[in-house]
């Protein structure tokens, strides 16, 4: 922290931090010095020359934005000479500037024109010349329009793209007075621009303006500006949503607030169209004579309650199960799990985390004690070395990736390990491309290198690992079998590369790992993460700031849903259902007899579907999930759903799953909700209601409470979400200290045990959360896949996500903007395989696996290895999960979405 110093501005003494930006300090203290090119999030430019001041002892006028505060500085911010100078400079800028204004954007220029009395043309010292400068208008982007006649060449957009987002897409073209902003070769639409809109948010003069809703937005007619959390991925970006007539017309990133500090991605800024979409569910539906028909809430809720009771009486309590939702709030998820445990009388509640990071969580809980990322998002920028493994982080967590790219600019070492090329490779020092599902071999090989080069951290192992060096010796014995030759043979990664990577990681002063679906979604998912954890532990790269392991979470509240107990094995706060003492405590809070709480773990997501398939589960309650698209082995899923006696789906849209529902209940979207979510770095963040509910839609928790009441089950009476949250705080100790009031502006990271606890930015600094307080090493062997390529199915298919679509695309595909970037399914195939199997670029192909088949478009690309293909899974018309299998990782029960044998046929 810099020391405090005193400076004097226009006779007033001000205390500031040494080296702080002078313009920023002056403005924060009420000196409204004009300026257009400076922005607190950017490095100073000094291009507009409006912020001139006088500093005693310095000749001439200096630009305040380029000066760092020093003790004793005496500054003149306002006098006649300065104001004259500013007025003159401003009129120069004005001469080259087109003043037309359509009230669709915030303009920082216009107030200055009035302030400096330049509104009347006659009062301007310099004549207008902008009409004579060639005007460049670029309207090719789906999200923005650039007009050079409004551009003051301030560098803000260029720096927004380069310094904040790390993309560097924008540049100046031409020179002198004709200079203008360019993306690509002059066409934004075909450039590398991915539409995050950072440049729009920072443009001071409306030269870069937003395209969506420009025909209706009027910034003087905005009804509401509400700060809430982004509904897409698990970064938890804070967004300010603007509405006009109960319609979202603009989204901005909230400046100065973690985790995103104003930054957004294309989905966060432009993906909101679904909230006002005409296809939203507006009233309850009941299936009558095979068709879903509108019904009243009372009719629908009574039917649901009666059916659930009937099934429980007829088949017993094991015949019911529920899928909770990572898209819903903590409050919704908490009420849902409470409902299952009390109304169904079992623990059959799970959700898509089982298909996502279940294996990561399983390994981390066993080894470290907590199933969450150990670090803060900010550490992605400041750690010395980062391994990104099985995680296409630029596309799946674009704002987390901005921290990495900024770290790279400061010299961070980046190692990408992925069977498929990802955009982060462009920033990487090393790119290791192992064959699919060979990760354990690769990581054991890297540990072999670390041990051979004596790069283990003995002190850490002795002090913080259970069994100390003895446990290490067991691991050593196992990994020493993974000789470089063997590892190269299994993984295909050259010895030189993984040796360099291992040494880079082990020798870095601080190092972090970001792991993703590539590691977790395998039948050996838990082992993969154990191998990663072993590497962390023997090198001591955990339990400190900027050291640790982090699984960025895919959905906005996938972290929170488990935190508040949407789990068949854990009560809220990660307390096992088998823990009797906790069940007693919870029974008291819930005001129910202790005996009513089932002490046995429930079924997991895929086990529930299997049980439905076998006829054991008869009734199911699905809240905000679309298993027909998201569960593996689609045919199996559909058969299971068809086999149910009664299926209730609660959602905001019709989905591929509502097609099999007996009752469909319309819920409010995240923009219509109050509550909280938890992001990937365990930050509890607020959701705030932006829009009035669509039609008769109700908040998820209210629907659940109503059903319970009609089943004569007491799951509590709540006036609002805050009351539910305060109950969660009693049940889950890790969340106890977090109140709505405390997170009004900034989120707080759990664990946070009381209202004076500041929250925890880095886990395991003093001890691990295991019973012994020490971490555990779990040595794991590489295992071959049970699924094997054959003459009939010669290729292995990997699946994943792309930037512009999101999961089963129920939300993202409602967005014209996102669809304009990408809305078609494809399969990537290596050029060698394309020749071998006679596949042509951009032509339709049939893809078959032993489970099913689909049709998509082939793209020939060396992003994948020979013998492997890759498909994004968002598109229901080419459903990747028709090809995947529902085999399970024995520990975490996750399915191998990343490994299916297939064949390709040209059609």
Partner 1 sequence: MQNKQTEEQVLEILKQFKPEKSEILKALHALQNAHPLHYITEEAITQTARYFKLTTGQVYGVVTYYSMFSVKPRSPFIIRLCKSPVCYMKGSLNLWNYLSQKLLLNENNISSDDLFTLEPSECLGHCEQAPAMMINEQVFTNLSPKKIDQIIDDFKRKYHEK
* Cβ nearer to partner 1, comparing 140 with 746: 140
Q: With contact defined as beta carbons under 8 Å apart, do 161 and 194 qualify?
A: no
Position of tokens 């279940």? 358
* Cβ nearer to partner 1, comparing 426 with 765: 426
As measured in angstroms, the least distance from the Cβ of 504 to partner 1 is 20
* Cβ nearer to partner 1, comparing 162 with 706: 162
* Cβ nearer to partner 1, comparing 186 with 615: 186
Cis, peptide link before residue 751, omega less than 30° from 0 = yes
As measured in angstroms, the least distance from the Cβ of 800 to partner 1 is 23
Q: How far apart are CA 97 and CA 143, in angstroms?
A: 23
DSSP string, 179-246: -EEEETTT-GGGSS-----HHHHH-SSSSEEE-TTTTT--TTS--EEEEEE-SSSTT--EEEEEEETT
Q: How far apart are CA 496 and CA 500, in angstroms?
A: 6
As measured in angstroms, the least distance from the Cβ of 558 to partner 1 is 33
Q: How far apart are CA 457 and CA 506, in angstroms?
A: 9
As measured in angstroms, the least distance from the Cβ of 394 to partner 1 is 14
As measured in angstroms, the least distance from the Cβ of 490 to partner 1 is 31
- State the first-to-last Cα distance of the chain, in angstroms, to the nearest integer: 65
Position of tokens 């024995």? 890
As measured in angstroms, the least distance from the Cβ of 182 to partner 1 is 5
The DSSP symbol for 160 reads: I
As measured in angstroms, the least distance from the Cβ of 424 to partner 1 is 14
Alpha helix (H) residue ranges in 826-870: 831-836
As measured in angstroms, the least distance from the Cβ of 165 to partner 1 is 12
* Cβ nearer to partner 1, comparing 175 with 838: 175
* Cβ nearer to partner 1, comparing 46 with 168: 168
As measured in angstroms, the least distance from the Cβ of 478 to partner 1 is 40
Q: How far apart are CA 468 and CA 540, in angstroms?
A: 12
Q: How far apart are CA 417 and CA 766, in angstroms?
A: 30
Question: Which residues contact partner 1 (rule: CB under 8 A)?
Answer: 167-175, 182-186, 191-192, 426
SS3 486: helix
Q: How far apart are CA 345 and CA 713, in angstroms?
A: 10
* Cβ nearer to partner 1, comparing 169 with 254: 169
SS3 870: strand
Q: How far apart are CA 254 and CA 239, in angstroms?
A: 5
Nearest to 880 by CA among 817, 811, 809, 831: 809
* Cβ nearer to partner 1, comparing 187 with 742: 187
As measured in angstroms, the least distance from the Cβ of 17 to partner 1 is 34
Say how many C-beta atoms besides its own lie within 10 A of residue 199's C-beta: 26
Q: Residue 831 is encoded by which pair of tokens?
A: 């050029």
Where b means 16+ CB within 10 Å and e means fewer, 661-696 reads bbbbbbbbbbbbbbbbbbbbbbbbbbbebbbebbee
Entry field: residues in the chain: 907
Paired with 853 in beta bridges are 848
* Cβ nearer to partner 1, comparing 82 with 425: 425
* Cβ nearer to partner 1, comparing 43 with 171: 171
As measured in angstroms, the least distance from the Cβ of 156 to partner 1 is 16
As measured in angstroms, the least distance from the Cβ of 181 to partner 1 is 9
Q: What is the dihedral of CA 276, 278, 282, 284, to 10 degrees?
A: -130
Q: How far apart are CA 183 and CA 157, in angstroms?
A: 11
* Cβ nearer to partner 1, comparing 199 with 818: 199
Q: How far apart are CA 195 and CA 713, in angstroms?
A: 49
Nearest to 77 by CA among 38, 115, 22: 22
Alpha helix (H) residue ranges in 591-699: 605-614, 627-630, 634-643
* Cβ nearer to partner 1, comparing 401 with 664: 401
* Cβ nearer to partner 1, comparing 169 with 237: 169
As measured in angstroms, the least distance from the Cβ of 169 to partner 1 is 5
As measured in angstroms, the least distance from the Cβ of 263 to partner 1 is 18
The DSSP symbol for 419 reads: S
* Cβ nearer to partner 1, comparing 184 with 576: 184
């Amino acid at each position: 922290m810099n020391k405090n110093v005193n400076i004097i501005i226009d006779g007033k003494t001000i205390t500031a931090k040494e080296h702080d930006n002078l313009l920023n300090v002056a403005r924060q203290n009420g000196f409204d010095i004009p300026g257009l090119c400076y922005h607190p999030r950017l490095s100073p430019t000094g291009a507009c020359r409006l912020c001139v001041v006088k500093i005693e002892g310095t000749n001439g006028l200096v630009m305040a934005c380029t000066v760092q505060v020093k003790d004793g500085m005496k500054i003149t911010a306002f006098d006649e000479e300065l104001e004259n100078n500013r007025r003159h400079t401003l009129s120069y800028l004005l001469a080259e500037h087109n003043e037309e204004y359509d009230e669709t954007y915030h303009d920082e220029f216009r107030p200055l024109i009035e302030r400096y009395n330049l509104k009347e043309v006659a009062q301007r010292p310099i004549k207008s010349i902008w009409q004579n400068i060639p005007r460049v208008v670029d309207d090719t982007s789906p999200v923005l329009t650039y007009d050079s006649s409004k551009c003051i060449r301030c560098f803000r957009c260029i720096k927004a793209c380069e310094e904040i987002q790390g993309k560097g897409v924008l540049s100046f073209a031409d020179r002198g007075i004709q200079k203008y902003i360019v993306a690509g070769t002059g066409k934004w639409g075909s450039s590398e621009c991915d539409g995050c809109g950072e440049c729009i948010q920072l443009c001071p003069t409306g030269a870069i303006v937003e395209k969506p809703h420009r025909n209706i937005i009027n910034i003087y007619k905005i009804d509401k500006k509400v700060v809430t959390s982004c509904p897409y991925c698990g970064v938890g970006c804070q967004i300010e949503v603007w509405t006009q007539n109960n319609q979202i017309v603009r989204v901005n990133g909230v400046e100065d607030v973690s985790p995103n500090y104003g930054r957004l991605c294309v989905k966060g800024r432009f993906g909101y169209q679904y909230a006002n979409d005409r296809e939203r569910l507006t009233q309850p539906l009941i299936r009558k004579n095979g068709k879903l028909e509108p019904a009243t809430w009372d009719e629908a809720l009574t039917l649901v309650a009666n059916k659930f009771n009937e099934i429980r009486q007829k088949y017993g309590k094991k015949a019911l199960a529920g899928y909770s939702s990572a898209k819903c709030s903590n409050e919704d998820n908490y009420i849902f799990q409470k409902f299952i445990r009390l109304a169904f009388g079992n623990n059959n509640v799970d959700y898509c985390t089982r298909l996502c990071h279940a294996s990561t969580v399983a390994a981390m809980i066993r080894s470290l004690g907590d199933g969450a990322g150990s670090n803060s998002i900010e550490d992605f920028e400041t750690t010395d070395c980062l391994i990104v493994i099985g995680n296409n982080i630029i596309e799946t967590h674009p704002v987390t990736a901005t921290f990495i790219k900024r770290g790279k600019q400061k010299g961070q070492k980046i190692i990408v390990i992925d069977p498929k090329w990802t955009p982060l490779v462009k920033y990487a020092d090393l790119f290791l491309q192992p064959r699919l599902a060979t990760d354990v071999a690769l990581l054991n090989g890297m540990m072999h290198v670390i041990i051979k080069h004596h790069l283990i951290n003995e002190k850490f192992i002795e002090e913080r690992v259970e069994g100390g060096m003895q446990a290490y010796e067991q691991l050593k014995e196992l990994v020493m079998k993974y000789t470089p030759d063997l590892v190269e043979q299994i993984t295909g990664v050259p010895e030189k590369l993984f040796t360099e990577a291992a040494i880079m990681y082990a020798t870095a002063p601080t190092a972090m790992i970001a792991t993703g679906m590539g590691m977790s979604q395998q039948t050996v998912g838990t082992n993969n993460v154990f191998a990663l954890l072993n590497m962390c532990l023997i090198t001591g790269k955990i339990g400190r700031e900027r050291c640790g392991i982090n699984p960025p979470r895919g959905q906005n509240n996938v972290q929170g849903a488990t935190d508040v107990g949407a789990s068949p094995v854990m009560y809220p706060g990660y307390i096992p259902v088998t823990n009797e003492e906790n069940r007693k405590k919870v029974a008291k809070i819930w005001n129910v007899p202790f005996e009513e709480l089932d002490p046995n773990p429930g079924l997991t997501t895929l086990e529930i579907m299997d049980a439905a398939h076998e006829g054991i589960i008869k009734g199911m309650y699905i809240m905000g999930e679309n298993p027909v698209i998201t569960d593996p082995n689609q045919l199996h899923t559909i058969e299971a759903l068809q086999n149910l006696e009664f299926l209730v789906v609660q959602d905001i849209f019709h989905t591929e799953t509502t097609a099999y529902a007996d009752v469909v209940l319309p819920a409010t979207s995240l923009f219509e909700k109050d509550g909280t979510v938890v992001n990937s770095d365990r930050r509890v963040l607020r959701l705030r209601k932006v829009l009035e509910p669509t039609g008769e839609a109700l908040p998820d928790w209210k629907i659940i409470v109503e059903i319970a009441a009609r089943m004569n089950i007491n799951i509590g009476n709540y006036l609002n979400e805050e009351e539910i949250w305060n109950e969660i705080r009693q049940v889950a100790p890790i969340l106890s200290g977090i109140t709505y009031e405390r997170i009004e502006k900034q989120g707080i990271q759990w664990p946070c045990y009381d209202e004076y606890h500041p929250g925890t930015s880095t886990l395991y600094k003093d001890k691990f959360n295991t019973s012994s307080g020490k971490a555990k090493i779990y040595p794991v062997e590489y295992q071959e896949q049970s699924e094997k390529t054959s003459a009939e199915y010669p290729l292995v298919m990997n699946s994943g996500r792309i930037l512009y679509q999101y999961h089963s695309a129920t939300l993202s595909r409602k967005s014209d903007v996102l669809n304009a970037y990408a809305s078609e399914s494809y399969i990537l195939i290596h050029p060698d395989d394309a020749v071998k199997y006679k596949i042509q670029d951009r032509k339709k192909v049939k893809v078959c696996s032993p489970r099913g088949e689909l049709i998509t478009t082939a793209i020939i690309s060396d992003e994948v290895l020979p013998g492997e293909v890759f498909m994004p899974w968002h598109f229901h018309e080419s459903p990747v999960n028709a090809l995947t299998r529902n085999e399970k990782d024995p520990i975490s029960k996750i399915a191998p979405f990343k490994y299916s044998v297939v064949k390709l046929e040209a059609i």
